[in-house]
């Protein structure tokens, strides 16, 4: 049995992971689950999977969960960051799936690595913020970090058994989001409701907005650098609206290896749980005869500047990706709340990056300090830009 813990069990990745566990109940045991404040969804998951450890973001949410269930939801009940760490280091857990959004799970991932757990990573921000720290810890402890993002999972599959010197470029595919055909002028008036209508994937709100700005692909470029040891010059992005080719690897002789599949996150999640084995999947097989045309286009760099900002941050390395990530989270939150224009999101990020002097940020304390500074700068900038919408 593969014994798993899921950080972010009520989100889109978490629920897909539980569906994989449901399908492979003879292979997967759900030892622990953690969520933010969705008590109703968590109560249903507890009753179905009977985990030994449960975490909630707040004490109030845990109290409500106890009330709904008529008692403690599990043998071990944790709250907040301490609860995530307790879950991630539970002695009965083999694989920790980091499916929570944002940076809240960073400490838990590092604790899981120190405890020798395999990491299934569906959270970009962990590596964008602290990729050097995380991957150094994984190498030191001999722990595998398996990507669950569909693009990095595809790269992992394409690189299987290949040495670094065999490939020339990693090629990440991007759907282009809901606005890939909109003019630059039209982008100024799009709303959060418009941006949340992703054409091919069903995802959480933050990642869906990131897809619309192409920041999601920018974060993936930085993540690919840490996962596969590739410099920015060896990581390319192409827009592929059909989302059938999940990513590609160009070999040094010009051959291109692509991983294809239907748009269902259960596939990369199951890959991480089963690795290095392959299991039957609870999804339809890809029928190539019905795919029609597969398109590949150059990104619209000037109209979607977040992608260029991510390459800039990776090129500078050190602390600039931390600033990029923190400012983006603030800007996206303001946009979702209707206080910031879509086209102001990259402005908030760029101004924070311009105001920051890159530094080493080699410890978690330094990472946290830069992150806090960037968030405050972004809040102030967003507030200035918000006034123009009033």
The pLDDT, as a whole number, for residue 206 is 85
**25: in domain:** yes
DSSP 8-state symbol, 295: -
Per-residue pLDDT tens for 230-272?
A: 999 999 999 999 999 999 999 999 999 999 999 899 999 999 9
**104: in domain:** yes
**240: in domain:** no
Bond before 276 cis per omega within 30 degrees = yes
Per-residue pLDDT tens for 44-58?
A: 999 999 999 999 999
Question: How many Å apart are CA 15 and CA 35, to the nearest integer?
Answer: 11
For the chain, the helix, strand and coil percentages under 3-state DSSP, each to the nearest 5: 50, 15, 35
Q: Which tokens sit at 168?
A: 């020339």
**165: in domain:** no
DSSP 8-state symbol, 102: T
Dihedral sign for Cα atoms in the order 35, 124, 120, 274:
positive
Q: Are residues 27 and 1 in contact, defined by beta-carbon separation less than 8 angstroms?
A: yes
| Furthest CA-CA distance within the chain | 63
The pLDDT, as a whole number, for residue 209 is 92
Beta strands at 95-98 and 118-121: parallel, antiparallel or unpaired: parallel
* Closest by Cα among 27, 26, 31, 22 to 4: 31
Per-residue pLDDT tens for 346-356?
A: 999 999 999 99
Which residues form the domain of 83? Answer: 2-148
**106: in domain:** yes
Over the chain, what is the mean pLDDT?
A: 93
Has residue 105 got a pLDDT over 90? no
**17: in domain:** yes
Percent of the chain clearing pLDDT 90 (strictly above) = 83
CATH number at residue 54: 3.40.50.720
How many domains is the chain built from? 1
The confidence band for 388, taking pLDDT boundaries of 50, 70 and 90, is: low
**72: in domain:** yes
The confidence band for 229, taking pLDDT boundaries of 50, 70 and 90, is: very high
Q: 38-44 long-range CB contacts below 8 Å, 24 or more apart?
A: 38/10, 39/64, 39/65, 39/68, 40/68, 41/10, 41/15, 42/9, 42/10, 42/73, 43/68, 43/69, 43/73
Has residue 164 got a pLDDT over 90? no
**102: in domain:** yes
């Amino acid at each position: 049995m593969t014994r798993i813990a899921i950080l972010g069990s009520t989100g889109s990745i978490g629920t897909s992971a539980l569906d994989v566990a449901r399908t492979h109940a003879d292979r997967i045991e759900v030892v622990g689950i953690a969520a933010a404040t969705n008590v109703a969804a968590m109560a249903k998951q507890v009753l179905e999977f009977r985990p030994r450890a449960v975490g909630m973001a707040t004490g109030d949410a845990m109290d409500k969960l106890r009330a709904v269930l008529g008692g403690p939801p599990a043998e071990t009940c944790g709250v907040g960051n301490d609860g995530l760490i307790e879950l991630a280091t539970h002695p009965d857990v083999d694989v920790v799936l980091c499916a929570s959004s944002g940076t809240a799970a960073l400490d838990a991932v590092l604790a899981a690595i120190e405890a020798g757990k395999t990491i299934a990573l569906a959270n970009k921000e962990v590596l964008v913020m602290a990729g050097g720290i995380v991957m150094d810890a994984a190498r030191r402890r001999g722990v595998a970090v398996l990507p669950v993002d569909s693009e990095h999972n595809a790269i992992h599959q394409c690189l299987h058994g290949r040495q670094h010197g065999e490939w020339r470029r990693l090629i990440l595919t991007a759907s282009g989001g809901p606005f890939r055909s909109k003019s630059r002028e039209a982008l100024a008036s799009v709303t959060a409701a418009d941006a949340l209508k992703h054409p091919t994937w069903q995802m959480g709100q933050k990642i869906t907005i990131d897809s619309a700005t192409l920041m999601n692909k920018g974060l993936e470029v930085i993540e690919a650098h840490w996962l596969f040891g590739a410099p920015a010059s060896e990581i390319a992005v192409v827009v592929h609206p059909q989302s059938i080719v999940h990513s590609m690897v160009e070999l040094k002789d010009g051959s291109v290896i692509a991983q294809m599949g239907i748009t269902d996150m259960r596939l990369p999640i199951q890959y991480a749980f089963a690795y290095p084995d392959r299991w039957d999947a609870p999804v339809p097989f890809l029928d190539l005869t019905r795919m029609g045309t597969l398109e590949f286009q150059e990104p619209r760099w000037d109209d979607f500047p977040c992608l260029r900002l991510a390459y800039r941050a990776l090129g500078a390395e050190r602390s600039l990706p931390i600033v990029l990530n923190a400012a983006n989270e603030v800007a996206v939150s303001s946009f979702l709340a209707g206080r910031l224009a879509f086209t102001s999101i990259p402005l908030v990020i760029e101004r924070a990056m311009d105001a920051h002097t890159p530094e080493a940020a080699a410890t978690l304390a330094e990472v946290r300090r830069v992150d806090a500074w960037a968030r405050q700068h972004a809040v102030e900038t967003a507030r200035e830009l918000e006034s123009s919408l009033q």
